[in-house]
Structures are given as structure tokens and as C-alpha cells.
Amino acid sequence: MTTTRRNLFKLAGGAAAGTILTPVPWRLITDTALLSENWPGVPQPKRGEPSVRFGNCSLCAAGCAVRARCIGGQPVSLAGVVEHPLSRGALQSALRNMRSGERCAVLDLRPGRTASWTYRRAMASIPNGTYLSASQPAAVDLAAVKTILSLGVPVLDGWGTPGNVLAARSRFRLIQAEASESRTAIMADEWLPIRPGSEAALLAGVTGGSIAEAAAQTGLTEQQIVSLERELRENGPSLVLGPNGEVSGDVLVQRREAPVPDEWKKAVPVSELDSMADGSIRVLLIDESAPGDYLPWPAIRGKLAPESVVVSFAWSKEGYGRQANFTLPTAVYPEAVDDIPPAIDCPVATFRLAAAWVAPPDGVVNPVEFIAGLAGLDAKNALQERASAIQKSGRGTIFDPAGAGKPADLWKALQNGATWIDDGEAKARAKTADDKKRSSALLEAKTADDKKRSSAPLPLAIAMAEPHTPALVSPLCSKVTYESNLRLGTHGAALHPSDAQGAGLTTGSRARLETAAGSVTVDVTVDDAVPPGVIQVGGGPDLQNVCGAALRARVVRS
């Protein structure tokens, strides 16, 4: 047999035929397919022992009860607790060198917590210590209300405790007075389209102020406003929600706080930022770890002394971290323990905890312990002390989603997701002359502001389309923002086609939104549901900073 090319080919042919009859090619094909399923491009979920934990979410004021499905102790999904009565299924140097009259202040964005008491106690031990609450907690009895007039407040889109509001929906008639058809306006019983920025005038009009002025500003007829006022009176009990947090109506209740230990009563009183003199705050400590109402930075800046020090305690740099001198990182739900104050639609006091389910990263600071430490106060066990005071008072009932009945140890039950609910009937709060005074003062202030700016009138009125979102938005919220355009993201703005065309903008354009308070980059969406002459903006702090205090804007292509 000679070595010819032909023989070589025959050998190769035999080898090929033989190879096909062996596992080699088939195995390699299968293995390649299997390899493609396992390559590092696709993360593999971790395995572990499944368990269920109950708790409360502290990411917003609603504090909804949550049931966490955990794998190996790590929560992998959260669901609501349907039977929960509240949420119904559906989160040293500056100090020493302060000059006379200068204050050290803590700005609490979510007042009403046990931490709030700790801050008040700490400030009592610091010279000129002041406790500033970002908002006045009010309480409303939704079960009793028959008519709600909302002036741009997103009643059905994040107000109060959403599960509770939606469960009570069929019992009240909702009139939504708003410039554009927001989510709440779509679901309301009646949508009253009014001119943007005229909410305060309408509020005055229906609470005893000038009806003619209200009609002129809103674009409604005087007859409409008169019948609106009559409906609120005759179809009561009614509730009016103003654009700047004003709450008035017969369903306001006097909600007492959950009991506190008597020793704590030695604390500074609650003050508001507005009542501080301009330039009087030397040291400002902002607790942003429990997000709540967002005060626009310009409002805060005016109260700061020339050589002030601002420290922000936050879990994201996107909030006050951009203006503060120092940002100290804190843990975020579900890494931290905190109690959640009752929401606006809860007529009685409650006490519930957001427990720590995962360990926070290294280097985080606990703002309560830090600030208490400044005053030499030991506040490590404040929550437990509060729980003891509550248990000792003998008041209230306990809802335990884990179903253990009345637990002997309140503190242990709270850590496993139980909620203490005060008893006692909701006592109606007497209507005071202050309510009326406040709304007309607001109207005067707004008109004065407008007159100041009328030297350079800006073309667009601003409508806040999305409720203020916490600075850190979950990456999965992309599903409802840029993956579907359902909601405006933190830097989103929507314009009517005619306004967009005028500025040379299309959907997806980058633009600069300019107001009297500053400017910010926005991502534009063109939407003919937005009324002409209005720009709808999303809820991020950047936008809140420039839009909160101002009413008119201009947008230019970047």
C-alpha cells in the first residue's frame, strides 16, 4: 500500500465516518449549548432555606406592612399584608464657636418618630439647640369623610397609606382640581380643570375668601365655585387638601402620640424652619435617612449663618448631599431599625418598626446615635424604652401578622412585624380661625412672589406630575420610567407638542429647565395630554429644588 493522496483522503473519510459514530461530535455540540447557559453573562440565583418575615417598610410615610420571602435569610421579594388594618396590603468645633443668637438645629424630614424625640432631647443639652420639623403632622379620619376636594394633591397616587385610601374609595366623592389630568384626576369622581398655579386661590375661595378672585385666577365661573363650596358644606363631613400641605375640614382629628417615657418630656419644643430668623443657623444636621417631605434647598439656605456647617445623614448623595458640607452615609431600609410614625390618614396613634433584615455595608453611621452622642445622650435603647412605655400604659391593641395573638413581650413582637394601634375614638379637632388665616396669608405671599418675578415672565407653568420620590430609586423602577414611559423619572419633564415644537424639542431630547430658583437638566417627553403652557415634572430632588419655590419655568434645548 502506497501513501498516495487518494489513500490519505480515504483515511480521513474513514476517520470522519468513524467520528460520527462516536459520541465526540454530539457531545461537543451538547456541551457547547450547556456552556452557553452557564457562562458568566447570566447570574445564577442563590439557593438557601426559604423563610417568611414580617415587617414594615420605612421608605415613605405610609409605612405599609410587608411580608418578605427570604432565601437563606436574604429577602428576595416583598408583598403587602392584606389583613393589616393600616396599610391594607396595597416603606464639634462649630458647636463650641457659636456666636450668641446662633443656633444648632436638627432638621427632621420625618417627624413623629422615636428618633425625633431623641433629637429633641439631644438639642435640650446643646446651647441654643433647636429641633426643626419639616412638616406638621396632621390626622384625618378617612372612614368618616364623604367629600374630598383635592387641589392638586395626589390622593390616589401615593397620598396617605395607599392601601387604606383605595379600600375607602367607594365611601367618598373625590373632586380633583388640577391643571392636567393626573392619575388621581383620571380616577376621581370629578376633575375640575383649573389654570396652573391657581390652586391657592381656589383654596381661599372655598374656605371663606374671595370667590371673584378665585374665579378670575382659576378660570372657573363664580357659580361653579359657589356650588363647590355648598357641596363641601352640605355633603359633609368634607376634607380639603391644599397644594402646600394645607389640610382643613371636619374630619381633622386630634391624634395623640404613642406614649413616651416621662423622662423624655424634658426636650426642646418642635419648631418650623419658617419661624427661624434668616441667617441664624450655624450648625445644621439634616436627617435624610428617613425620607419624607422635601424642603427645597433655597428655603433652607436662607436660614443659614455665614459660616455655617451643614451635615446631611443620607443613604444617597442625590438629596441634600449635594449642598451639604459633609454627607455621612446611613443604612437604608431594610438595613436599619426605625419606627414609622402614623400616616396622615391614620386617626389614631400607632407604633411599628421597620426591622433590619440585612446587614448594612461597612462604615455607615446611625444618625440618631451620632446626634445623641454630640449631646452626651445614650439613645441606643430608645426604641425599646418607648415600647416599654407603651406596654406599661395598657392602652391599645396589637395586630400581629404572624398571627400569634396577644404577645406577652411587646418589644419582641414589634421586631417580628407586629403593630401597636392606640384605642379611643378619633376626637374631632376644633376648627380654628388659624386655618382660614393660613390660606389667605399664603395667597398673599404667592401673589407678592409673582409680582416680584413679573419683570421677566417665564412662559410655562409647572405642574408636579409625580409625587416626590426618595432620592434613591430602585433600579427596577426603570420598568415604569424609561422602559415603558408610564411615569416620569426623577429627571423627566413632559411638554405639550406646541410648546415642545417651539423649543425645538422631541421625545428623548435633553433640555435645561430654568426657573427663578435655578436650572436643571431634564429628559423631555412630548405628550399631548399636557395642557399647553404647562410643563409637567418628575419627582427627583433636583427638580424639586428649582420647582418647589417657583411657579413658572422656561425650557431650552441643551
The footprint of other proteins on residues 523-542 (CB under 8 A) is: 527-529, 531
> Rounded distance, CA 139 to CA 342, Å?
9
Residue closer to other proteins, measured from CB, 12 or 445: 12
Please give the residues from 89 up to 148 whose contact with other proteins meets the rule CB under 8 A. Answer: 89-90
Which of 195, 487, 491, 552: binder of other proteins (CB under 8 A)? 487
CA dihedral 425, 430, 436, 437 (to 10 degrees): -120
Residues in contact with other proteins, shown as a per-residue x/- string from 465 to 484 under the rule CB under 8 A: ---------xxxxxxx-xxx
Cell reading at 25: 461530535
Nearer CB in complex with other proteins: 223/474: 474
Distance CA 96, CA 374 (A): 11
193/298 with CB nearer other proteins: 193
State the Cα–Cα distance between residues 437 and 257, nearest whole angstrom.
26
77 in contact with other proteins (CB under 8 A): yes
Question: 308 near 125, Cβ under 8 Å?
Answer: no
Give the shortest CB-164-to-other proteins separation in angstroms: 10
Does position 83 bind other proteins by CB under 8 A? no
Q: Which is nearer to other proteins, 101 or 508 (CB)?
A: 508
**Which candidate, 66, 63, 85, 88, places its Cα nearest to that of 77?**
66
Query: d(Cα 348, Cα 303) in Å, to the nearest integer?
Result: 34
Mutual angle of helices 211-218 and 222-234, in 10-degree steps: 120
On whether the CB atoms of residues 63 and 54 are closer than 8 A, the answer is no
CB of 432 to other proteins, least distance (A): 34
Residue number, 479 or 557, with CB nearest to other proteins: 479
Return the number of the residue (108 or 178) whose C-beta is nearest other proteins: 178
| 80 part of the interface to other proteins, by CB under 8 A | yes
Give the x/- contact pattern for other proteins in 20-59, rule: CB under 8 A.
Answer: -xxxx-xxx-xxx-xxxxxx-xxxxxxxxxx---------
486 binds other proteins per the rule CB under 8 A: yes
> For other proteins, which is the closer residue by CB, 13 or 101?
13
List binders of other proteins among 496-515 (CB under 8 A): 508
Q: Which of 107, 246, 447, 485 is the binder for other proteins (CB under 8 A)?
A: 485
Q: Looking at residues 301 to 360 of the shown chain, list those that interact with other proteins (rule: CB under 8 A).
A: none
User: Is the four-CA dihedral 395, 399, 403, 409 of positive or negative sign?
Assistant: negative
How would you write 375-433 as a 3-class SS string?
CCCCCCCHHHHHHHHHHHHCCCEEECCCCCCCCCCHHHHHHCCCEEECCCCCEECCCCH
Site for other proteins in 179-218 (CB under 8 A): 181, 183-184, 186-187, 193
